[in-house]
Amino acid sequence: MKRVFTLLMSMFLVTRVFAVLPLPVSAGEELLFSWRDSTREKESWTGRARRAENVEIRRDRPRREAMGRESWTIAEFLSRGGEVWDGGERLGPRGFTLRANLARWVTLTPDVGVEWRSNGGWGVVVNGTWTSWSRGGRRYALWCVSPGVRYYLPGGWHVGVFGQGGEFNYKPGKTGRQGDYLGGGVAGGRRWWLGRRWSLDVEVGAGYTRGKYEKYRLIHDTRVRGREVKKGYWGVNRFGINLEFKI
């Protein structure tokens, strides 16, 4: 009985010692454990990096939306008419747009207008021109109203019809011409978006214009009227490089 008790106590002490001491592992097992630890560490770092990237994207989204567009190349800008926006969307077309014809402003003839565009691709444009100045016996005065209707095609292109009418007083030398004109035709062009609200619109039109004017001369500050002239013209009668701002 005493021997049995001694054997049991010895077995108990041996199990306790092995439980406390670390067990030796083989080289293969050690390599496997180290690979698992490194893989878990890499996965943890990758997850942290992805989470940080998502947070940065969410933080940066308001700034990109405020910019209103993503970066583009010159080829993309020309091929898509400037309609390259964040997420593939741009500012909705419906609404009013203010415009100024830079081609007329260069000749010291202010020209401003407004366009209303519907969601269906149709737009109604009205431009107005006015100038009046005299210097050294020369006279240049003009007012003109030019309405038009256009339809927008994919890529920023547009086609339409227009009309125009106004009065003029042109005296570059001794003889002046004063009268009125009326005309219209078809026009086409393209619009490039420069930003979320700014755009550049180039258009050319051709049609018929008929004018009627009187020649006159100033003799001792007295206007002497001459004969009346009526002329008609077929050809290019509309050209514009319009800088636009969407309201």
The answer to whether the predicted template modeling score (pTM) of the entire model surpasses 0.75 is no
CA distance 142 to 170: 8
Judge whether 239 and 107 are in contact, CB under 8 Å.
no
- Pairing between β-strand 198-219 and β-strand 138-152 as defined by DSSP bridges: unpaired
* pLDDT tens per residue across span 128-155: 999 998 887 788 899 999 999 999 998 8
Question: Is 80 exceeded by the pLDDT of residue 53?
Answer: no
* pLDDT tens per residue across span 152-172: 998 889 999 999 999 999 888
In 3-state terms, what secondary structure has residue 53?
helix
Judge whether 203 and 164 are in contact, CB under 8 Å.
no
More confident residue, 42 or 112: 112
CA distance 113 to 150: 15
Give the mean model confidence (pLDDT) for residues 40-47: 56
Query: What's the pLDDT at 154?
Result: 87
* Domains, the chain, with CATH or none: 88-246 (2.40.160.70)
More confident residue, 97 or 8: 97
* pLDDT tens per residue across span 96-119: 999 999 999 988 899 999 999 887
Query: What's the pLDDT at 69?
Result: 45
Question: Is 90 exceeded by the pLDDT of residue 203?
Answer: yes
Task: Report the chain's mean pLDDT, rounded to a whole number.
Answer: 76
Judge whether 182 and 209 are in contact, CB under 8 Å.
yes
Both structure tokens of 163: 């009309």
